[in-house]
Structures are given as C-alpha cells and as structure tokens.
Amino acid sequence: METVVADVIAIIEEGRRKAINAVNTNMVEAYWLTGKRIAEEELQGLERAEYGKSIIKTLSRALTTKYGNGYSSAALYSFRQFYSTYPKNEIFYTVCRKLSWSHNRLIMRVENAKARDYYLQEAAEQGWTVRTLERNINSFYYERLLTSKDKETAIKHSNTLEKQRTEDFIKDPYVFEFLNIPQPIDASEKDIESALIENLQQFLLELGKGFSFVGRQYRISTELEQFYIDLVFYNYLLKSFVLIDLKVGKLTHQDIGQMDMYRRLFDDLKKPEGDNPTIGIILCTEKSETVVKYSVISDNNQIFATKYMLYLPSEEELIVEIEREKEKLRLLKEKNLKEEKNNGD
C-alpha cells in the first residue's frame, strides 16, 4: 500500500509540474506576441515616439480594467522590448519558451548580444534558477569564461582540440562571494577550503558544467610517500579528473611544480583507462604573469593557474579586471606574432 501511495503522489506531482510549465510557456508566448503586436501597431504610426506611448497607455488601461494588476505601462514596455530582443520566431520558439518570464526579463537586459545568447542557452540547458542566472550575469560569468579561453588560445601550442575543449570549462577569475568571508580577508587556505565544501552546491555552480565532487584532502600514495590534494573533482563532459589546489597569496613556481607532480601521479595511479589526462587548476588570490610565462604552464595542456575572488566586486572593478586581462592578451599576441615572423625569416 505504501508503494501505491508513493507512486500516485509522484504521478500527481509530475502532473502539477507539467501543468505549471505549460502555463509558464503559454504566458511567455503571450507576452512575446503582445510585444510583437505593439511593434506592428507602432509601425502604423511611422514609429513616432508619441504614438508608441499612446498605444501602451491605452492598452495598459484596457488590460488593467479587464485583468487587474500586471499590465502596467512598464510591463507592456517590457513585452515590447522582449519582442525587439528576439524578433525571429526560431530563436523565441526554440529557446525563450523553455524559460520563465523572470529568466527572459533578466537576460534581455544584457546589452552584449553574444553574452545574451550564451545566458539564454545555458539557462535553458543547465536548468539555472532565476537566482543562479542573476548571480552569473552580475558576476560577468560569460566575460570571465571568454577571457580565459582567449588567454589560452593566445599562448603557443594551444590550438589542439583537447586544449580548446578543456579551456571552455575554465574561468578567470572565479568568484566565491557566497562564502561570506568578511573584509579585510584574513582566512587561511584551510578555512577557505572548508567554506567551499560547506557551500558545495554554490561552488559546483561556479565551477561550471559537468563537475562532480570526488574528495577533499584526497590521499594518493606511492611506495614511499603519501600526498594530499586539496580538492578532487570529476568532469563527466571532459571525461577527466580535475585537481584543485588552493593558494592564498601570489602564485609561485613551487605551486606549479607541485601541481604538475600531483597531476602526473594521478594519471599513473588513479586515471581509468580510456579517460582523458588529469587536469590541474591552481586557484590563487594573485597570479604572477612571469611565473606563468616561464613555467610548464605555458607548454602544458592540462595545468591552469587562475585567480579567485572572495567577494563580488562592483561592475567597475570587474570591468577593470577583464580589461587588464585583455591588455595582457593583446601584448602576448603581438609578441607571438613577432616571434613567428622572426622564425619565418
């Protein structure tokens, strides 16, 4: 009898979920079609601003009288913007309808069209909640991921398929504001590691697609010694283990050497046959471009050094950080082109 009750509850819950999703889909479609109709009517007035305002005011009064709240002038402007952002039927019907109005309203306010398309696809495919989507937009998730990819492709020997696939999953910087570590920051590597594990769900969301947690202070033993890796994950999309080493302070060549050794040990002792090589990520509060440039990182497809931040910076601070990385990229590309030219001569 208990099994029957559980099965029926599951059936009803699934039915309710589908009903809610259907209502949501139909309302998102109604808002888009409303925006389309407003845009069409505006064209009749030769896109005069006064005529457009008049249409929206008239509609708002009529709809509010019939349906109550929810159809203010501001709401109708949003519907108009919704249609203007996605005027093509195929984009709206294949992606936008999969998301709630709250999702769509956040995404359509993103000015960068490529970033907007990215958030649209990822929110739909990964099932991001509205809260997760809002955090990712506010923390420039797309720009951080793009900067990391550009950085790696600017380095020599980075044009292999494996490298390009791996870098798609690495961001720079990572933002761990969800740890709520107060400023000024006075936390040890152990404190930060513990806080990340206590907030594992948020940590996994920040890491990105395909990550699953394997272990903390993961022991790996040889015949003579034992080593402990801060954090070990597995990425089922890359089909590879991912080792993470946390560092408070500036990146050193010793940090890179240690990660290189851990990665090699893991490949020899733990990696299943058929898996891709193990990836090593050193998370540090401050990177040294000189150390990165003249270390094994510059020639190694599986080791990354990225910065992490323990607070959500302002939009201005994030823009400065991203522009700084872009300038480094520009100089690095110029240097590589110059070296290639000299080698060709």
Is this prediction's pTM over 0.85? no
Q: Is the pLDDT of residue 324 over 80?
A: no
Between residues 83 and 16, the one the model is more confident about: 83
Give residue for tokens 């040294």. Answer: 288
Nearest to 163 by CA among 62, 240, 75: 240
Domain span including residue 197: 141-344
* DSSP percent split of the chain into helix, strand, coil, nearest 5: 60, 15, 25
Between residues 79 and 337, the one the model is more confident about: 79
Bridge pairing between strands 226-235 and 240-250: antiparallel
167 & 194 share domain:
yes
**What is the percentage of the chain residues whose pLDDT exceeds 70?**
75
Number of separate domains in the chain: 2
Report d(CA 190, CA 187) in Å as an integer.
8
Cis link prior to 173 (omega < 30° from 0)? yes
Q: Which of 114, 138, 162 is the last residue of a domain?
A: 138
Q: Is the pLDDT of residue 263 over 90?
A: yes
228 & 101 share domain:
no
109 & 205 share domain:
no
Residue 200: per-residue pLDDT: 94
Which CATH number belongs to the domain containing residue 218 in this structure?
A: 3.40.1350.10
- Give pLDDT tens digits for 202-225: 999 899 888 999 999 999 988 888
Which CATH number belongs to the domain containing residue 64 in this structure?
A: 1.10.10
297 & 215 share domain:
yes
Q: Is the pLDDT of residue 52 over 80?
A: no
